[in-house]
A and B are shown apart, each in its own frame.
Chain A
């Protein structure tokens, strides 16, 4: 069954938001879940997080950052176009409960991934502080949405908006200068960001930090082992055991290395694709 793109909008350069028709997914998805998309018959299976669900009209939202051939191609699709395959919701949902005071750290498109978690934690009665980080002002998305749940601190690498610095600087600020104690934290964003957020969290004495790993996947259902990561010294399959894990136990360098396995091939695919489609500066 093909899945229609009901709405699409650009959030930032190379970052697009989609609303996709998929009634069964909309009905069953929980925060933390992801889907796997295959655009067309020759497409690869790409995992993407469910950013929100709309049960009433059987749709869900996803936010995609163009980084390689498949995500460029996806971001170039239009409203009314159809995705050939969408499967999900996959993965374990986030462990939502009333922890007390929660710190949420989002970077780049990870901010979108973090959003349903923020909403659920808020509804569960937590006091929420969010740090949203981006390279520059343009990449800090959904600030207004997060403000609904609590205080928001924005950091940008270039200082074009909010505090100049990295999310880890934001963490120092909240814990040291504002003397806030957190019961638990979530960090969702680029792998390197999550790695350093985890180091910082440990240093600052935050008891636990969930991170959402995005290793390379194929099936997303536990049948291939491509997504294996080492957590607490044990091999885990991120698609069925995760994708959220205890960030203090993740072997970060290994996952970063494994994510680069196909770099050369991905480059060929993207170059060939961009040659064919011409100017994409509008994307």
Chain B
């Protein structure tokens, strides 16, 4: 095929690593209109739309890109918004390489990169925000039925927005003082500026969704009250609870869960202490345990908050690392050190109980395990890494506060809510669930996809078309 497609994605400007490692401003700076149009021209407008299958909310990708090609940015964003209520966030944080872009035919041409779908999505979302007034979609006639959404993360916000568009009265209850879920307390400012989340939340409010913050369902609002007052309930409380490996020294001063560290810095703005009241003590030498996206975020945040040296400590190798490649590269560029094949066996403290280092077992790779990755096994050797701060980023688990108060709701063996993946229907009549609380920690767009499917199912249930609990 003699196609004249530039093999590489149109590059996106970034802050240089030496500069950005000291500030919390966004790393990637976005496309100009010219760059966006140039990138859009790499798309072949495939009639079979393979890329759409890779997107959990099935955005009509070729159509929105076609609008960009023609310079019709409004048309592009209108198309996206038929499917996605949080495009500026998804364009930034979706693991596109595993999703939409992994299916792109341009990426299949040897030596060629796929079309930069995420960057284009981000571009039109930002473009629209710059125009001032954000266009509202059609909102169906009021149905006179009430739906409660628990949790204002991506899954809850998406379900809420879609149900509002269908004409339902939707109230979202959020435990924190700010809506957004992981988008506000987990993912750092330099990857997803909080202004953008606020903007997307404002849009959802304009659709008529009521968001009540500081409302912990199960505590502030008891579960039976919710069930009595609303015609249907969607639960999207996430998998926010931290896990600890549980090695000796976990409770030393200076040992944090990534959730605590990121919440202090992102949500409470501890990096602006003492202008903001929440403190965080960032060490000179920081060891981050784990090599997923959360670990990368914690490591890069620690650098920006003033650490001199940041180490990622991971029991497998670069190849098995679960983090997105792009974020790994960003971390390397910024000077994060990687210590592979190291499994912490103890955090060591001084006489005052402050952590001074991590004792690790040196590992090697053995046979593949259930996940298909080679299992790390101890070599018998030990290693000691000096660190005055340790951040554990080894995974999350189900958020308990609601589940503890809702024993009737069936759970699976991992402690997550048992719900139908196509509809979100749970074991309790009229109650739906989706996002991380059903699947375990996943991605923003998958959580949104679950919110969308549930919104559709709730609509069918409330209009009497379908009832899986058949009484």
Contact = CB atoms under 8 A, between A and B. Distances in A.
Across the A-B interface, the 8 shortest Cβ-Cβ residue pairs: A265-B279, A224-B260, A87-B214, A44-B277, A225-B257, A44-B278, A223-B240, A257-B353
Interface stretch (A9-17, A165-173, A199-207, A214-222): A214-222
Contact of B274 (A24, A28, A254, A268): A268
Given A45-B268, A269-B273, A221 B216 contact: yes
B261 to A, nearest CB: 9
A181 interface: no
Contacts of B11: none
B250 interface: yes
17 contacts: A38-B177, A42-B276, A42-B277, A44-B277, A87-B177, A87-B220, A89-B219, A218-B263, A219-B263, A221-B401, A222-B399, A223-B259, A223-B399, A224-B259, A225-B259, A228-B250, A240-B404
A37 to B, nearest CB: 10
Contact of A222 (B222, B246, B250, B401): B401
B412 interface: no
A224 to B, nearest CB: 4
Nearest to A230: B251
B277 A269 contact: yes
B281 A262 contact: yes
Contacts of B352: 257
B241 interface: yes
B251 A254 contact: yes
A232 interface: no
Interface of B: 175-177, 185, 212-216, 219-222, 240-242, 244, 246, 250-251, 253-254, 256-257, 259-260, 263-264, 268-269, 273-279, 281, 352-353, 399-401, 404
Chain B interface mostly? loop
A218 B270 CA distance: 12
Interface string A231-265: 00001000010000000000000100110111011
Given A218-B264, A224-B260, A25 B250 contact: no
A277 to B, nearest CB: 14
B244 A235 contact: yes
A136 B253 CA distance: 33
B257 A42 contact: no
A132 B222 CA distance: 35
A272 interface: yes
Nearest to A253: B353
Interface in A18-34: 24-25, 28
A196 B278 CA distance: 31
A89 to B, nearest CB: 6
B281 A25 contact: no
B268 A85 contact: no
A258 B251 contact: yes
A70 interface: yes
A260 B185 CA distance: 24
B253 A261 contact: yes
B251 A228 contact: yes
Given A222-B240, A228-B244, A265-B281, 6 more contacts: A218-B260, A224-B259, A226-B260, A254-B251, A265-B274, A269-B273
Contacts of A218: 260, 263-264, 268, 278
B220 A265 contact: no
A108 interface: no
Interface string A115-134: 00000000000000000000
B216 A87 contact: yes
A265 B242 contact: no
B277 A28 contact: no
A154 interface: no
Interface in A90-147: 90
A1 B268 contact: no
Size category, A interface: 35 or more
A43 interface: yes
Given A219-B176, A235-B244, A224 B279 contact: no
Interface string A73-91: 0000000000011111110
B275 A42 contact: yes
Contacts of B215: 24, 87
B244 A224 contact: no
Contacts of A90: 216, 219
Contacts of A224: 242, 257, 259-260, 263
A94 B263 CA distance: 29
A69 interface: yes
A228 to B, nearest CB: 6
A266 interface: yes
A95 to B, nearest CB: 15
Nearest to A3: B214
A88 B175 CA distance: 9
Contacts of A262: 279, 281
Contact of A272 (B251, B274, B400): B274
A90 B67 CA distance: 50
A235 B251 contact: yes
B251 A28 contact: no
Given A88-B220, A89-B219, A223 B177 contact: no
Contacts of B278: 44-45, 218
Contact of B241 (A222, A261, A266, A269): A222
B179 to A, nearest CB: 13
Nearest to A224: B260
A42 B401 contact: no
A272 B263 CA distance: 24
A70 B251 CA distance: 25
A42 B274 CA distance: 9
Contacts of B254: 261
Contacts of A219: 175-176, 263
A261 B281 contact: yes
Nearest to A227: B260
A269 B275 CA distance: 9
